[in-house]
Structure 1
Amino acid sequence: MRSILDPPTPRSRARFRDKIPRFLLTVDTEEEFDWGKPLSRDTHGIEHVGRLAKFQQFCEHADVVPIYLIDWPIANSTLAAEILRGPLANGRAEVGVQLHPWVNPPFEEEVNDCNSFAGNLSAELEESKITSLRDTIETNFGMAPLIYRAGRYGAGPNTAEVLRKLGIAVDSSVRPKFDYSAGQGPDYRHHPIEPYWIDDDRTLLELPLTTTYWGLLRRQGDAIYPRLWRAPSLRGLLSRTGLLERVPLTPEGVSVEEAIRGIDMALDDGAPLLVFSFHSPSLRPGDTPYVRTENDLDRLYDWWRRIFSYLEQRGVKPSCVRDVMLSMQR
C-alpha cells in the first residue's frame, strides 16, 4: 500500500459513475484551545458543544448531511452524543475520526510540535490512539466512524496501513497546495484536489480538502506560491491585483466571493468532488480567530447559505461519505 504522503498516479484517480459533481461539508469537531499558545494535554474546553444543535438543524433545513470528524474530548462529551445520536441514526449526519494526539490516549509521547502530527508517531502508537478514539466514538455515538482525518492534516507513512487494518475505508487528511514541513509536518503541494485510491486494490479512498488557485497566474501557482511563504506581503499583493490567490474552501478566513471563485476554478478544472471544512469551535464567538462576535457568527451562517445556493446553481449536489462510496467507479 502506498503512503498517504505519496502523490497518486494518474490511474488512481476516482470518478463518479453518474458524472454529477458533489460536495461534502466536513466539521473538525474538536475542543477549544488557544491557537497561539503551545499545545497542552489539559488546557482546553468543550463549552461550544451545545452550538452543534443549531448547526445541525441549519444543515437539515438545507438538505445537507454534515460529517462530524470527532476528536477525543468531543467523543467523551455526553452533550455532543445527545445532540448527534439522533441525526446519525437517521442518516442526517455522519461521523468520522479526527485525531489530536496530544489529548488522545494512550499518552506515551512528549507533547511538542513534531508529535502533534500523528503521522510522526510510531505505527504502534498511532494505531493505538486511532483505535481508542474509533471505539469510543462507536460506543458513545452509536455509529461506527466512516472516515478519518489527522488533526493538523498530520498523516504519515504508516497512516494508510493503520486505517486499512482498522477497517476505515476513507481518509481526508490531505490538504493540497499546503506545506507543513517547516513544522515537521507533511508536504501536500504535489497532491491533486480530486479523489483518488491510495491502494491498488481500491480499498482506501482519499478525499482531499479542496484548495484552488485563482488569478491570471493560477496555472503557474504550484511553482510560484511555495516560493512566497517567507513573503506574505507579496502574496497579499498578488491576491489584491488578481494575479494569484490560494483559496481553500472554508468560511474561516475566506470570503464568500473568494470561495465562489475557488468553486468555479475547481469545477472548471473538472473536480468531481468539493470538500469544505471548518472547526466546530467557530460556532461560538471567541473560541477561534475567525469568529470573535455574534455578528461574525451570523456572517458564518450567511456564508454557508450563499455557498449552498451557489452550489445548487452550478449543479453541484450535496453528498455524504456513504453516497461517495456507493457512487464511485471501481
Structure 2
Amino acid sequence: MTAGIPDYDMLIPPLHTQKAAFSQAFGQRALLTVDTEEEFDWNGEFHPFDYDLDHVRRLAKFQEFCENIGVVPVYLIDWPIANSQIAVEILGDAAKRGTAEIGIQLHPWVNPPHEEEVNAFTSYAGNLPPDLMREKFLRLRDVIHRNFDCAPRIYRAGRYGLGSHSARMLREAGIAIDSSVRSRYDYRKGHGPDYSTHPLWPYWVDEERSLLELPLTTVYWGMLRQLGGILYPWAERFPRLPGLLSRLGLLERIALTPEGISLQDALRGLDIAIDDGLPLLVLSFHSPSLVPGNTPYVNSEEDLDGFYGWLRGVYAYLDMRGVRPTTVSEIVDHVVV
C-alpha cells in the first residue's frame, strides 16, 4: 500500500467524492455478469465437496444466445468451474474470440485451502481471517490464469461477501473492478454484509483510483421511491408489508436479474435507472439457472424459455433506449481516472 493512501472499508457506504465518472463517449451502458458456479442446495448446509456441474454444458447454448444478440457476458467463475475441462473449452474459447470475458468469484467453502469450519458465517469470504481469504483468492486466480490463459480484472465475492480486508487483497492482486456490492440489500441476518445504503453509481474504492466498484443494479419504484432507502429496510421487518406496498404502487424493489423479477417489472426498473442517468447498469444471474431445478427461479423448460425471453426483452428495450452492452475492457478504458 502506498504511504498516505488509505484502503477504504468496502462495507461502509462511499463518500460522494468517490463517485466515478466516464468519458462522454461512454454514454449509458449495460454489463451482463454471470455468477458461474457449481450446483448446490441453496436451502441446505454448505459442503466443500457435495456439488454437481451438470449445467456447464448449457453454457455453450447461452454463449451462442449472447453472441446472437450482441452481448459479451462476463463469467465470474469459482473453483469448481475453473477446474472443469468442459467450462475451459466453452468459456475459454469464447474469451479467446473476444465474445466473453472471464472474472473471479470466490465461494470459500469449495475453494482450497480448506482450513475453516464450513458454515453460514464462513460462507462469506469477508468473514474469514484475512490471510486465509487471500490464500483462497490467490489460488483461484492462479488456476484461472493457468487454465483459461487470461488475467481476470473483475471480482465478485460469492454471496456478495466482502469484508473489511477485501480492498487490500484486490488492490495487491491488481484487480481493476469489484462487483460484490448488491446495493439496497441487507444480509446481516445470515451473517453477511449490509449494502442497504450503498449507492447504485460506480465509485472508487481507494484514493489512488486503482479499484472501481460496480454495484449490482437495484432500483426503487413507486410513488414513495424517493424514500425507499428509509422505508424499504423498515418494511422488510414485516413479512407481508413489502408485497402490500408493491401491489398498491407505493414502493417496490426491482433488481435487474431474470431470477425472480418479471420482464414487466424489469422494464420499469430499467426506466428508473436510465431516467436517473445511471451510467452503468449491472445485470446478473447464477449459471445453474440455465438448467431447470437447480435454483428456485427456473423449475421447468417453460421457465427456462421465459428466462431467455427476459434477457431478449431487456436487451431489446435497452437498445430502444439507446443503452448499449459493454464489457469490462470498455469500462476500464472509459472510466475517468
Separation in structure 2 between the aligned mates of residue 314 and residue 235 of structure 1, nearest angstrom: 29
Match of 1:99 in 2: 106
Which consecutive unaligned segments of at least 5 residues does structure 1 have? none
Q: Given the alignment, which residue of 293, 305, 313 partners 2:312? A: 305
Tell me by how many angstroms 1:266 deviates: 1.2
Tell me by how many angstroms 1:230 deviates: 2.8
Relative to the length of structure 2, the TM-score reads 0.97
Q: Given the alignment, which residue of 10, 14, 17 partners 2:23? A: 17
Residue 140 (structure 2) pairs with residue 133 (structure 1):
yes
Match of 1:60 in 2: 67
1:266-320 CA-to-partner distances (Å, cap 9, x unmatched) read 1222210000000000001111111111111000001000000000011111001
In structure 1, what residue type is equivalent to 2:243? G
Match of 1:184 in 2: 191
RMSD, aligned α-carbons: 0.8
- Write out aligned runs for 1:109-124 (5 A): 109-124=116-131
Separation in structure 2 between the aligned mates of residue 78 and residue 130 of structure 1, nearest angstrom: 20
Residue 216 (structure 2) pairs with residue 202 (structure 1):
no
Match of 2:272 in 1: 265
In structure 1, what residue type is equivalent to 2:98? G
Separation in structure 1 between the aligned mates of residue 48 and residue 94 of structure 2, nearest angstrom: 30
Separation in structure 1 between the aligned mates of residue 311 and residue 147 of structure 2, nearest angstrom: 29
Residue 58 (structure 2) pairs with residue 51 (structure 1):
yes
In structure 1, what residue type is equivalent to 2:197? H
Q: Secondary structure at the match of 1:53?
A: helix
Q: Which runs of 4+ in 1 moved over 6 A?
A: none
Relative to the length of structure 1, the TM-score reads 0.99
Separation in structure 1 between the aligned mates of residue 21 and residue 69 of structure 2, nearest angstrom: 25
Tell me by how many angstroms 1:232 deviates: 2.3
Q: Secondary structure at the match of 1:5?
A: coil
Q: Secondary structure at the match of 1:116?
A: coil
Separation in structure 1 between the aligned mates of residue 161 and residue 204 of structure 2, nearest angstrom: 19
Aligned residues: 330
1:151-206 CA-to-partner distances (Å, cap 9, x unmatched) read 00000000010001111111000000000111221110111011000001100000
Which consecutive unaligned segments of at least 5 residues does structure 2 have? 1-6
Match of 2:92 in 1: 85
Separation in structure 1 between the aligned mates of residue 238 and residue 16 of structure 2, nearest angstrom: 33
Separation in structure 2 between the aligned mates of residue 244 and residue 219 of structure 1, nearest angstrom: 9
In structure 2, what residue type is equivalent to 1:136? V
In structure 2, what residue type is equivalent to 1:203? S
Separation in structure 2 between the aligned mates of residue 36 and residue 325 of structure 1, nearest angstrom: 37
Moved more, 192-201 or 231-240: 231-240
Q: Give identity over the alignment, percent.
A: 57
Q: Secondary structure at the match of 1:68?
A: strand
